[in-house]
Structure 1
Amino acid sequence: MVVGALTIGVLAPPAASAATGPDTVQQGLNALVRSDGLPAALASVKDRDGRTRTYTAGVGDLATGAKVPRDGQVRIGSSTKTFTAVVALQLVGEGKLDLDATVDTYLPGVVRGQGIDESRIKVRHLLQHTSGLPEYEHLVNDDIFQHRYFEPRDLLDIAFRQESAFDPGTKWAYSNTNYVVAGLIIQKVTGRPLAEVIDQRVVQRIGLRHTYFPASGDMSIREAHPKGYHRDSAAAPLRDMTEIDPSVAWAAGQMISTNSDLNRFYTALLEGRLLPEAQLAQMRTTVPIGDTGAGYGLGLMSRPLSCGGVYWGHGGDIPGYESRGGVTEDGRAVSVAVTAVPTDGAATRRLESVVDTALCR
């Protein structure tokens, strides 16, 4: 089961008027369907002047051959982390939360386990994946999680069967557990459910009309959407994973959105419409992700572009869907989604190359 990662049909034409020469974004999506065997791919591309093009490739339903809905809703997986981090940093700006306070300041006795010392783990460590808290997602079986509801504390119980991965602040390692704890802190500080807080402070604030945090028990996707599929291995058949209980991801990956809404969200974030300048600067202060050239801030990633500079965003994987994208300093924005998580890293890298192509062309 994957809730977040760093890691054959009719092709629909782009929505915008035809341009001279082949459209490299459309070609990239077509290749993901034809060569990588992904059921569908869809994208939204905004240039620095605000002009937007939407794209689709493949089919939205393998059983019926239905078209891929333009700008359809998808599960965005770990892009949810940016929403969670934005709310946390808003609370920091309001003096209600301290990035350098320890977890036990807000959740005494909640974070525990062999080698885990909650009095040394700071809120900043959670948001930047430098806490050393162990990951839980690999311990949850796909067949179990699809229809099961998890309380956030259930996820922590699973995670804390394992030892701490390293001392807080000494390394970087991606762990969804960090954001489950961060979500609990937000609820403790605000006294309200996380879904409500994200909706009021982010979704409604910037008018994201097709973005929401599914309510408890809601396994469906509200609006037009391509079906999502999953295979356990490269040789295994695809199976429909459109309807799942996303509580297994919660603050780390439960949300649903569209490519255009994600572009709007990340654009608003970089333009300073969601955070004060000081907190946005904190969010964009990164640590290296190995030797990839990418960096991880507080719920926000920077990735190098082949044409120079970087873009800011966050990818997301959850059974049925994988998405990648981000925005540049000059206002370009791209979000791409496919309707199955690739079983090998090469296909994901090709997906990321479509993002790079769209931002650099």
Structure 2
Amino acid sequence: MKSLIVSLCFLSTIVSAQTDSISNNIKSKLNHHALNPVHSILLYIENEDKQFIYNEGLGLEKANGKAVTKHSAFKIASSTKLFVSTIILQLQEEGKLSISDKVFPYVEDIEDLNFKNFHNLDSVKYAKDITIKQLLSHRSGLADIFTDKEDAFFALVMKNPNKQYDTTSIIQLYYQFHLNQTPHFKPNEAWHYSDINYVLLGLIIQQIDKITLAQSIRKRIIDPLQMENTFFEFYETPNKQVSQINQYLGQTNFSNINTSFDWAGGGLVSTNADLAIFIKALFNYKLINKSSLDQMIDVKFTKTDELRYGLGVYEFYINNNVYYGHFGFYNTFIGYCPKTKTTLSYSISQATPSFNAYTFISQLLNYVDQ
């Protein structure tokens, strides 16, 4: 008994030291007065085998704001794609679609979409050749509003930062920027990350489920998993009041901007604890079966400057361990390492911090892996 007590005390000391080291490293990166301020960092690390959990929020919601906590919520941005991909694979399991299906039959009746003219390359129309799988894996060739027309898009947003977008106005932007005339390649010839792929997937979900995408995500994922602090921002009213941090691109506070244009490509708000519930449910086959998950994480090479990508999921190496998950615009991430049974979720609150986020997170995980 004495030896057991000594062992437990020793383990407790180790865990306390790990926790303190992680917190101190996070505090060293907070800077409320920098050109690219980092007002808060929220971090969740759980290693099931080692029975280690770190879940903390440090810093302020904004400059001179109130302190964040581990319960603080944040825009998860493109990590929303994991949710959309999961629903598409659920629909496949239900026999309502196949990811090898062509997109056209699912969306041809949507007003204002004009899908047959959605992908015109060298005067040839390729839209009808695009498959659902190519949308999931960003291999459709479709251009992206946010990256291919970045300057024009953000100028438009800043001109009217309170504008409420919907699917019609998002598609209107796509045509306004003539992106249907400037795809990057024929379907399935290469890889190009484009949120428009996920806009189309969101439309497919709505066509099949006969409810809004926000309602589908809630019905299929949020409510069954009791993710009480997660909601589709600007498209539904949250079930409870959540304290939400401010998130930045340089000095620009995107929490003062209506980001409803993100929709299926990045519209969810959540907490680290809720995201941990989601990613563990995904990898424990509570949302989709093993065959579907295997399809999701069957990653392929992309471009020389990009990580390998599957169906709405990146493959991400940290300290020689493989994580599967997704990044978000404001330096957010949710992922899972099957080998070590480690869940990782974080928000750095700044899209362009002065430090390398990958190196920083790797250093924090060193305290758990050692």
> Which bin holds the TM-score, normalised by the shorter protein?
0.7 to 0.9
Asked if 1 retains the 8 angstrom alpha-carbon contact of 2:42 and 2:70, the reply is yes
The change in CA–CA distance for 1:21 and 1:358 in structure 2 (over 3 A counts) is closer
Inter-partner Cα distance in structure 2 for 1:38 and 1:277: 39
SS of the residue aligned with 1:287? coil
The equivalent residue for 2:321 is 309
Give 3-state SS (helix, strand or coil) of 1:186's partner: helix
SS at match of 1:19: helix
Match of 2:336 among 320, 327, 332: 327
Which stretches of structure 1, 4 residues or longer, exceed 6 Å deviation after superposition? none
Structure-2 residue corresponding to 1:174: 193
Supply the AA of the counterpart residue of 1:33: L
| Matched ranges for 1:90-239 at <5 A | 90-108=90-108, 109-110=114-115, 112-115=118-121, 116-137=125-146, 138=150, 139-141=152-154, 142-144=157-159, 146-160=161-175, 161-162=178-179, 163-216=182-235, 222-231=241-250, 238-239=251-252
Q: How many pairs align?
A: 333
CA–CA distance in 2 between the matches of 1:38 and 1:61?
A: 9
Quote the Cα distance in structure 2 between the aligned partners of 1:121 and 1:87: 19
User: Which one of the candidate residues 267, 272, 281 is aligned to 1:268?
Assistant: 281
Q: For 1:21 and 1:191, how far apart are their aligned partners in 2? A: 48
Pair 1:204–1:33, CA change in 2 (3 A): same
Letter in 2 for 1:157: Q
Matched, 1:19 2:32: no
Once residues 286 and 298 of structure 1 are traced to their aligned partners in structure 2, the CA distance between those partners, rounded to angstroms, is: 8
TM-score, normalized by length of structure 2? 0.81
The Cα shift of 1:286 comes to 0.9
Task: Give the Cα separation in 1 of the matches to 2:365 and 2:331.
Answer: 16
State how far apart, in whole Å, the 2-side matches of 1:309 and 1:17 are: 22
Instruction: Look up the SS of the partner of 2:231 in the other structure.
Output: coil
Greater mean alpha carbon deviation, residues 79-88 or residues 161-170:
161-170
How far residue 254 of structure 1 moved from its aligned partner, in angstroms, is 0.4
Structure 2 unaligned residues grouped into runs of 5+: 1-12, 109-113
In the TM superposition, what is the alpha-carbon distance from 1:215 to its structure 2 partner?
4.3
| Contact persistence 2:234–2:260 (CA under 8 A) | no
CA contact (8 A) 2:230 2:271 kept: yes
Give yes or no for the alignment of 1:60 onto 2:73: no
1:340 to 345, 350, 353: 350
The farther-off stretch of 258-267 and 248-257 is 258-267
Aligned partner of 1:81 in structure 2 is: 81
Moved more, 98-107 or 292-301: 292-301
Superimposed CA distance per residue, residues 25-76 of structure 1 (whole angstroms, 9 cap, x where no aligned partner): 3244224324874111111111214542222333223134x21222310010
Cα 1:125–1:144 change in 2 (3 A) is farther
Letter in 2 for 1:119: K
Q: Which runs of 5+ in 1 are unaligned?
A: 1-15, 232-237
SS in 2 for 1:30: helix
TM-score norm. by structure 1 comes to 0.83
CA RMSD between the two structures:
2.7
Aligned equivalents of 1:69 and 1:223: distance in 2? 11
- What CA distance in whole angstroms lies between the structure 2 residues aligned with 1:125 and 1:99? 8
1:243: Cα distance to partner? Answer: 3.9
* Contact 1:30 1:57 survives alignment (8 Å): yes
- In structure 1, what is the Cα distance between the partners aligned to 2:363 and 2:129? 41
Per-residue CA distance 1:318-350 (angstroms, 9 max, x = gap): xxx431241111421111102221167x53434
Structure having the larger proportion of residues in helix: 2
What is the CA–CA distance in structure 2 between the aligned matches of 1:270 and 1:26, rounded to whole Å?
A: 28
Bigger drift between 181-190 and 292-301 goes to 292-301
**8 A contact 1:326–1:335 mirrored in 2:** yes
Percentage of pairs with the same residue: 23
Corresponding residue SS for 2:158: helix
Residue deviations 1:109-138, cap 9 Å, x none?
325253252111100000111111000012
The CA distance in 2 between the partners of 1:313 and 1:304, in whole Å, is: 11
